[in-house]
Amino acid sequence: MKEIKWSYLILAVIAALSTASFGIAVAEKSLLIAICCALGLGLSYAAARRLRAGSSR
């Protein structure tokens, strides 16, 4: 069995929660929450990309 990469798991959970929250924010017509969710989603993807680039060296 492979070892769990906790950092990737946490980033994936953040991305999933941001996506779900973004849908709720759009339904509630809350621009501020939608922007925060989009930032959370973008930052989690950027962090995963940096983590992946650092581990491939």
CA pair distance 28, 22, nearest whole angstrom? 10
Q: Is the pLDDT of residue 5 over 90?
A: no
Domain boundaries, the chain: 6-55
DSSP 4: P
Band the pLDDT of 4: cuts 50, 70, 90.
confident
Nearest by Cα to 12 from 37, 48, 38: 48
**Sign of the alpha-carbon torsion through 8, 11, 15, 21:** positive
Tens digits of residue pLDDT in 13-40: 999 999 999 999 999 999 999 999 999 9
Separation between Cα atoms, residue 12 and residue 6, nearest integer Å: 10
Which pLDDT does position 57 carry in this prediction?
A: 61
